Amino acid sequence: MKAVEIRKDIYWVGAIDWSMRSFHGYETSRGSSYNAYLILDEKITLIDTVKEPFKEELLERVASVIDPAKIDYIISNHVEPDHSGSLPFMMAHCPNAKVITSVPNGLKGLKARYGDLPYEGVKAGDTLSLGKRTLQFVPTPMLHWPDSMVTYCPEEKILFSNDAFGQHLASGSRFDDENDLSVLYYEAKKYYANILTLYGRQAQAALKALQGLDIEMIATGHGIIWRSHIKEIHDLYEKWSTGVLEKRAVVVFDT
Ligand SMILES: [Fe+2]
Ligand SMILES: [Fe+2]
């Protein structure tokens, strides 16, 4: 299991779940992925983990780049177990790591699930220096959980967006421009409809909070990474979250 370099010294180290067919009760016919990212800087940082059954895969991918014991920070953007499930396992392999999470809800949620770990809470506007790079934290409450946040790296212009902009899609290639766009948009829409529809107002607030960030890459928590169609997926989120209606004809029939 090898890591995939997505930018110099930044790696995708997640896991592909080819056989997952149901997520939160909706059918996921194309599987999914749990995306985690490793940043090599003066401080070595892991952004999110993966679903628990895939923990060895995560560790192996990290180890293909660096000794996991060297990790200084694990950023937990979201408490849900598809992103945090391997946190205790990783902490056992990263004795010096601090867990960075949102306050108060990330902290509360992780403590309830995994007990005491060396947590550090962050709020809107907080930054973390990794050396050459900085991480900025942007809370996105109720997108789709109270603890949800995204992490932005201004030097790389990468947004680590966790559940936002994701798709349940297993693919052998990591980027939007390496996949069939019509499938990506379909799966992104299906994901939005099933996971985020109820939170249109919060999605609007999140889009507003992200306004002004210069984004060249959206490193999602599920599915592919957006690098060539950032404006398109952003505009789709704008459209879906404002509930723009399209004229449709419905044919009702019975036999
Ligand atoms: Fe989630
Ligand atoms: Fe998720």
The answer to whether 169 touches 16, Cβ cutoff 8 Å, is no
Is 165 inside any structural domain?
Answer: yes
pLDDT in tens, the chain (255 residues): 899 999 999 999 999 999 999 998 889 999 999 999 999 999 999 999 999 999 999 999 999 999 999 999 999 999 999 999 999 999 999 999 999 999 999 999 999 999 999 999 999 999 999 999 999 999 999 999 999 999 999 999 999 999 999 999 999 999 999 999 999 999 999 999 999 999 999 999 999 989 989 999 999 999 999 999 999 999 999 999 998 888 999 999 999
Ligand closest to the CA atom of residue 28: 2
Is 247 inside any structural domain?
Answer: no
126 vs 110: CA distance, rounded Å: 19
For residue 102, the domain's CATH number is: 3.60.15.10
Verify whether residue 229 is a known catalytic residue. Answer: no
Is 249 inside any structural domain?
Answer: no
Is 252 inside any structural domain?
Answer: no
From the number of C-beta atoms within 10 Å of its C-beta (0-12, 13-18, 19+), residue 11 rates as buried
Number of domains in the chain: 1
Ligand closest to the CA atom of residue 166: 2
Verify whether residue 78 is a known catalytic residue. Answer: yes
Q: Which residue's entry shows tokens 């994901």?
A: 191
Give 67 Cα–ligand 2 centroid separation in angstroms. 27
- Strand ranges inside the chain, DSSP E: 4-7, 10-12, 15-17, 22-23, 26-27, 32-34, 37-39, 44-47, 71-76, 98-102, 119-122, 127-129, 134-139, 149-153, 158-162, 217-220
Verify whether residue 114 is a known catalytic residue. Answer: no
Verify whether residue 73 is a known catalytic residue. Answer: no
pLDDT at residue number 243 = 85
Write down the catalytic residue from 34, 48, 78, 156.
Answer: 78
Is 175 inside any structural domain?
Answer: yes
pLDDT at residue number 129 = 98
Verify whether residue 24 is a known catalytic residue. Answer: yes
Q: What is the distance between the terminal CA atoms of the chain, rounded to a whole angstrom?
A: 53
pLDDT at residue number 164 = 96
DSSP 8-state secondary structure symbol assigned to residue 224: P
Write down the catalytic residue from 163, 192, 229, 237.
Answer: 163
Give 197 Cα–ligand 1 centroid separation in angstroms. 13
Angle of helix 200-210 versus helix 230-242 axis, rounded to 10: 140
CA proximity to 55, closest of 98, 119, 1: 1
Is 78 inside any structural domain?
Answer: yes
Give 222 Cα–ligand 2 centroid separation in angstroms. 7
pLDDT at residue number 202 = 93
CA proximity to 12, closest of 46, 36, 45, 33: 36
The answer to whether 162 touches 121, Cβ cutoff 8 Å, is no
The answer to whether 226 touches 233, Cβ cutoff 8 Å, is yes
pLDDT at residue number 244 = 85
Give 215 Cα–ligand 2 centroid separation in angstroms. 21
> What is the domain range of residue 156?
4-242
Is 235 inside any structural domain?
Answer: yes
Verify whether residue 80 is a known catalytic residue. Answer: yes
